[in-house]
Structure 1
Amino acid sequence: MIWVETLINGALLGGLYALLGIGLALVFGVMRVVNIAHGEFMVLSAFCAVLLSNLFPQVSPLLMLIPVIALSFAVGWLYQAVIVNRVVTSPDPLSPLLLTFGVSVVLRNVMVEIFGADVRSLQVGELSRASLEIAGLNIGIMPLLTLVLAALLFMALQLVLRRTEFGRIVRATADRRDIVRLSGVKPDRVYNYVMGLSLALGAIGGVLLAVRSSFTPFSGAERLLIAFEVVVLGGLGSFWGALLGGIALGMAQLIGLKIDPNAGLLYAHLLFFIMLLIRPSGLVSSRV
């Protein structure tokens, strides 16, 4: 029974990990760019949520997701328009990596300057400790809500990309940006919206992770590593693959902690490494 509970809680943790990776998967699927600053933007969204919670203590911290998501979308739009669009079509594949790496370094130091290096977390009161007992199993309500939210967001994103005009434009731009210009589509503007959506989705994961654990301005690298492993494990450019990859990592982490309490993320990293050797294309091989 203990192992069943461990697997269930691992799947719930995986829903949170999937939220960290979905934005990275979206940007790579459309632009073929790995945004190294993705982790720092998630941490920045968590700091914004903490700041808003301190300014409005009478409002539930979870409601702070709404303004944080809107702000993250605007920041992502500007980030793409002002910075990333300069190198997104560069023939040198290292240009986007180096540029976004530079942005991550700058963001990290700006957060240290503004917020300090103290450990922070987002408190949601009793909800973070509440649990359900089902057939003798204790299931945390907050992790369960996180997994449900992740599944709903993945479904909504898939519907938008497959069933709406905006989604068709995004997929066409991802396939042939030179051809869509003939239809009056401006690829750079499409990329702006995609990056805004990516950081908005990352903000959700960043804030929910701040509820579950503490963070500092230096936590971006850890979050980026998890997001990257989720994307690669699930399959580059595959949204449902990212969800499966996140669940697999969450299960591996909690199983590892059950075997060795000092393991941390070791077993999750080992799963990622083994999967790279066995199936480099990931669990699901598909594109946006």
Structure 2
Amino acid sequence: MIWFETLFSGLTLGGLYALFGLGLSLIFGVMKIANIAHGELVIAGAFLAFAVVDLLPVPLWLLLPLVTMGMFAVGYALQSALVNRVLGDDPLPPLLLTFGISIVAQNLLVEIFGADNRALDPGWLATARIGPVWFPVGLLPLGTLILTVVLFGVLHLGIGHTRWGRIVRATSDDPALVGLFGVKRRRVFAVVMGVSAALAALAGVLLAMRSSVTPFSGVERLLIAFEVIVIGGLGSIWASLLGGLALGLVHVISFRLDPASGLLYGHILLLVILLIRPEGLAGRKVTR
């Protein structure tokens, strides 16, 4: 029974990990850049939720859309005002710019909220359990996993089966060509960054319901997000879900076997995947 609980905990934690990586995978797939500020966007979402709750105590069902819409606007503004200015064939300028944004965002959060640990109170969800007596499961972690799968499905349908998705895919493949058809690629990139920031913020809120966070927690979230998309593999949205579940299972099982291991075995998994299958568990193999 202990191992059933361990596996369930690994899957639910992996769902949260996958949500960390989803927005980063979207940005990399569309704009071919690594957003170093992604971890700070995750934590900014959590602290925006703290601010909303402090100012206007709102129910959870209203808090989540408020935070995601607010962070969509932040992501759209960042891309429009800053990142679009440095996009080009050289990946180094966006890398350096987003690194600078992460440093500024981290210090801005410290200046506004302080450096103390903070957490969101999920209320009755913290103790609510469902299922049989012999295997009750927490409603909050189960809901996190279900919400993650739903978001992956929505994004998959949105990109693969809508007009907006076709525009995004075409812009990713050949930005210059779609411009001839009247598509403003910078606006497309801004919307994509807004979606990425909204997904990151949602992950941050869910994280703050499970554990405490500080303005310095973004670096670890960024590392996990990178590991998720590398383990899962690029080229498929669902690969990030697979990578997140795999990483979550490894972390929880390693904590069970070796409580002092920390994130060590997750890093080892990353190295093994890179050595054996560099394209990731579900990524497309590159042929020359």
TM (normalized to structure 1)? 0.95
Relative to structure 1, the CA distance from residue 153 to residue 123 in structure 2 (aligned partners, 3 Å threshold; closer, same or farther) is same
Q: Which amino acid aligns with 1:199?
A: A
Number of the residue aligned with 1:214: 212
Number of the residue aligned with 1:241: 239
Relative to structure 1, the CA distance from residue 286 to residue 201 in structure 2 (aligned partners, 3 Å threshold; closer, same or farther) is farther
- Aligned-pair RMSD on alpha carbons? 1.4
Number of the residue aligned with 1:127: 125
1:39 aligns with 2:39: yes
Where in structure 2 are the equivalents of 1:133-212 lying within 5 Å?
Answer: 133-134=131-132, 136-212=134-210
User: SS at 2:172's partner residue?
Assistant: helix
Where in structure 2 are the equivalents of 1:51-70 lying within 5 Å?
Answer: 51-57=51-57, 59-70=58-69
Unaligned runs of 5+ in 1: none
Number of the residue aligned with 2:74: 75
In structure 1, C-alpha distance between the alignment counterparts of 2:233 and 2:68, rounded to whole Å: 26
Q: Which amino acid aligns with 2:79?
A: Q
1:86-110 Cα offsets, whole Å, 9 max, x none, are 1221x32211111100110011111
Q: Which amino acid aligns with 1:256?
A: S
Q: Which amino acid aligns with 2:254?
A: G
In structure 1, C-alpha distance between the alignment counterparts of 2:46 and 2:177, rounded to whole Å: 39
Number of the residue aligned with 2:274: 276
Decide whether the 8 Å contact of 1:15 with 1:147 is kept in 2. Answer: yes
User: SS at 1:137's partner residue?
Assistant: coil
Relative to structure 1, the CA distance from residue 260 to residue 99 in structure 2 (aligned partners, 3 Å threshold; closer, same or farther) is same
Relative to structure 1, the CA distance from residue 200 to residue 137 in structure 2 (aligned partners, 3 Å threshold; closer, same or farther) is same
Number of the residue aligned with 1:224: 222
User: SS at 2:130's partner residue?
Assistant: strand
Number of the residue aligned with 2:86: 87
Number of the residue aligned with 1:22: 22
In structure 2, C-alpha distance between the alignment counterparts of 1:134 and 1:267, rounded to whole Å: 32
1:141-190 Cα offsets, whole Å, 9 max, x none, are 11110111011100010111111110000000001111111111111111
User: SS at 2:116's partner residue?
Assistant: coil
Q: Which amino acid aligns with 2:34?
A: V
Number of the residue aligned with 1:257: 255
1:168-216 Cα offsets, whole Å, 9 max, x none, are 0000000111111111111111101000011011111111011111110
The alignment covers a number of residue pairs equal to: 285
Larger mean Cα displacement after TM superposition, 61-70 or 92-101: 61-70
Decide whether the 8 Å contact of 1:275 with 1:282 is kept in 2. Answer: yes
Q: Which amino acid aligns with 1:70?
A: M
| 1:36 shift after superposition | 0.3
| 1:238 shift after superposition | 2.1
User: SS at 2:30's partner residue?
Assistant: helix
In structure 2, C-alpha distance between the alignment counterparts of 1:136 and 1:211, rounded to whole Å: 26
1:13-65 Cα offsets, whole Å, 9 max, x none, are 111111111000000000001100011111111001011112223x2245311
